[in-house]
């Protein structure tokens, strides 16, 4: 089991989204959720398994769509996130929703359980995503649908001049691309893995999320760069283990902080929607 504290990280994201300034991100999350559900072709009465459900962003809405004659099963490793999802399900009076604490690489579900499987921002962070997607395939009924949304951090792009920090930045990116599950995960790989485990009729759509922001403080830039992901997945952890010096990280961070205030500064992350089906 991973000891990455996704629950605390999701709390942080939630508090930022509810800080009032981030209406845009909240709306975007809703749009992503709705598109994932739409591409899953969800209908009343369906059984849906939402993998890496977190606090239930997708699962809670899915429960409303499938209605009382359907069922939604959210699966996640994080107890804290599942507690939040369960509390929200109770608050909404949803009784067709259950949450299971499990690793998505070994699902405690029978073969052919589900009409559809979804995942939002989950598989990018799982190192052996082929095992996890093979499990998704196994628990689907023949003809069942899969619908995913994943960030492609490897293709993250910064439109800025790194100046004297350029060489250090290149080394830091190289470290991430070679050791980090999410930063090593390139565009096109999701479709390849889905194909390799047996899914057919696959389609993908790439959307570039504009994640540009002007950092008010050096600390904000440091957090965004080095602590973008929780626990062992934090880029700063990878840099530390690879022997990148604190001075190099500090130089890169300071450059990012200063450049983020310039007109024309842009930071974006491609995100891929992928959907398909298990053959009949
Ligand atoms: C970025 S969050 C996304 C949560 C949710 N899908 C959403 O859209 O808000 C990633 C989630 O994947 C879960 N996760 C990561 N690796 C996992 C694994 N191997 N098995 C089960 N859950 C996992 C984490 O606990 C976390 O809740």
Residue range 248-278, pLDDT digits in tens: 999 999 999 999 999 999 999 999 999 999 9
Q: Can you tell me which atom of ligand 1 is nearest the CA of 102? A: 21
Position 36 scores a pLDDT of 98
In terms of domains, do 221 and 92 share one?
A: no
Average pLDDT over residues 64-89: 97
Position 162 scores a pLDDT of 97
- The residue segments making up the domain with residue 117 are 1-152+187-210+272-280
Q: Quick check: 50 pLDDT over 90?
A: yes
In terms of domains, do 194 and 233 share one?
A: no
In terms of domains, do 31 and 45 share one?
A: yes
Our answer on whether the CB atom of 104 is closer than 6 Å to any ligand 1 atom is yes
pLDDT digits (tens, 9 = 90+) for 101-141: 999 999 999 999 999 999 999 999 998 999 999 999 999 99
In terms of domains, do 2 and 29 share one?
A: yes
In terms of domains, do 77 and 199 share one?
A: yes
In terms of domains, do 3 and 119 share one?
A: yes
Position 26 scores a pLDDT of 73
The more confident residue out of 25 and 169 is 169
CB neighbourhood size of 270 (10 A): 18
In terms of domains, do 218 and 246 share one?
A: yes
In terms of domains, do 148 and 162 share one?
A: no
Our answer on whether the CB atom of 122 is closer than 6 Å to any ligand 1 atom is yes
Position 17 scores a pLDDT of 54
In terms of domains, do 278 and 141 share one?
A: yes
Category of 188 on φ-ψ map: left (φ > 0), alpha (ψ -120 to 50) or beta: left
Our answer on whether the CB atom of 58 is closer than 6 Å to any ligand 1 atom is yes
Position 1 scores a pLDDT of 40
In terms of domains, do 193 and 256 share one?
A: no
What is the Cα–Cα distance from 179 to 245, expressed in whole angstroms?
17
């Amino acid at each position: 089991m991973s000891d990455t504290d996704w629950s605390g990280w999701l709390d942080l994201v939630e508090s930022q989204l509810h800080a009032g300034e981030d209406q845009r991100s909240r709306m975007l999350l809703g749009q992503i959720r709705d598109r994932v559900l739409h591409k899953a072709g969800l209908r009343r009465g369906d059984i849906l398994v939402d993998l890496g459900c977190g606090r239930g962003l997708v699962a809670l809405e899915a429960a409303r769509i499938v209605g009382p004659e359907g069922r939604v099963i959210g699966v996640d490793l994080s107890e804290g996130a599942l507690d939040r999802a369960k509390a929200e399900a109770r608050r909404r009076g949803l009784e067709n929703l259950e949450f299971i604490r499990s690793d998505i690489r070994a699902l405690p579900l029978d073969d052919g359980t589900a009409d559809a499987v979804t995942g939002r921002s989950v598989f990018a962070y799982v190192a052996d995503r082929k095992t996890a997607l093979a499990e998704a395939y196994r628990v689907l009924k023949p003809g069942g649908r899969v619908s995913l949304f994943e960030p492609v951090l490897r293709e993250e792009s910064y439109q800025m001049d790194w100046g004297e920090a350029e060489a250090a930045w290149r080394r830091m990116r190289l470290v991430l691309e070679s050791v980090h599950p999410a930063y090593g995960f390139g565009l096109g790989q999701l479709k390849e893995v889905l194909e390799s485990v047996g899914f057919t009729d696959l389609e993908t759509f790439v959307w570039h999320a504009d994640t540009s922001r002007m950092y008010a403080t050096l600390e904000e830039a440091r957090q965004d760069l080095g602590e973008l992901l929780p626990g062992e997945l934090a880029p700063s952890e990878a840099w530390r283990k690879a022997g990148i010096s604190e001075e190099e990280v500090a130089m890169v961070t300071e450059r990012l902080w200063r450049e983020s205030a310039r007109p024309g500064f842009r930071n974006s992350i491609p995100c891929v929607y992928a959907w398909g089906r298990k053959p009949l």
